[in-house]
Amino acid sequence: MKKILYLLITLLLLTNCTSQKNSEDFIKNASGRYLFNADEVIEIYFKEHILYAKWRGNENIKPLKVTDNSFYMKALNEKMIFVEKPEMHIELAPKTEHDGIIYHFRKMKIDEKTPSEYFKDKDYKKALTAFLEIKKQDSLSPIIKENKINSLGYNYLRKNNIEAALEVFKINVALHPEKSNVYDSLGEAYLRNKDTLNAAINFKKALSINPENRSAKRFLTKVTK
């Protein structure tokens, strides 16, 4: 607690000596979207030459300017450092909690989107490609956990958004083709869509992987009566 209080006091003293306004060059180079993680973005923008951020649904976050290229963001409890070379990116200032890890958030291309953003725009092919790329880079990423994606699919089913549910479950099948449950869930979405043929195909696939999958057994009996 004392360390945090000391940090805040230090930052306040520094910001009192530092103009919160930024140069035109810095605004031009720093404005944009930065990949916070494989499926999440921090957006940096400026109003009246003052830096603001959008993150996790919060708009108008106003980090405190510490130096010409560093800002303290209370929502993160981190000091962000804007580094222009070799390419513009954000680094978090080193501190004990980082355990020697350097956090690097690269600036995204103008037309680049996260997997979830592609999905929201109903660009399902690009969403799938982006999720598969996450798996390629980090097969243990929490973003592609089977249970997490499955829960999202059932959220869509509960809202009767069958199209979205089907596409989510298809992505889960592509990411986890060895898991019985992903086929069972996809089969259930097909069944809700009155597509009994594809429902049966997926229930059978689920049972071929795990013959003890009770849900798949129950639904397969239902569609083959």
pLDDT tens, residue by residue, 144-160: 999 999 999 999 999 99
Do 24 and 59 reside in the same domain of the chain? yes
Together in a domain, 20 and 68: yes
- Asked if residue 192 lies in contact with residue 146, where contact means CB atoms within 8 angstroms, the answer is no
Boundary-marking domain end, from 106, 140, 161: 106
CATH (domain of 204): 1.25.40.10
- The end-to-end CA distance of the chain, in Å, is 65
Query: Are 71 and 127 in the same domain?
Result: no
Taking CA atoms, 194 is separated from 24, 219, 223, in Å, by 58, 13, 10
Say whether both 136 and 203 belong to one domain.
yes
Instruction: Looking at the structure, tell me whether residues 126 and 157 fall in a common domain.
Output: yes
53 with 147, same domain: the answer is no
Shared-domain flag, residues 209 and 150: yes
* 108 and 34 Cβ atoms separated by less than 8 Å: yes
- Do 126 and 31 belong together in one domain? no
Both 60 and 99 in one domain: the answer is: yes
Q: Which of 56, 71, 106 is the last residue of a domain?
A: 106
CA distance 213 to 149: 19
Q: Domain residues for 23?
A: 2-106
Positive or negative, the CA dihedral 21, 23, 28, 30 is negative
94-144 pLDDT, tens digit per residue, is 988 888 899 999 999 999 999 999 999 999 999 999 999 999 999 999 999
Residues 2, 196: Cα–Cα separation, whole Å = 63
d(CA 192, CA 194): 5
Tell me, yes or no, whether 209 and 162 share the same domain. Answer: yes
Query: Where does the pLDDT of residue 225 fall: very low under 50, low under 70, confident under 90, or very high at 90 and above?
Result: confident
Whether 124 and 215 share a structural domain: yes
Q: Which two tokens stand for residue 210?
A: 């795990």
Counted domains in the chain: 2
For residue 65, name the pLDDT band (cuts at 50, 70, 90). very high
87 shares a domain with 22: yes
Question: How far is the CA of 87 from the CAs of 24, 33, 78, 135, in angstroms?
Answer: 18, 14, 21, 25
pLDDT score of 163: 97
Picking from 75, 106, 137, the residue at the C-terminal end of a domain is: 106
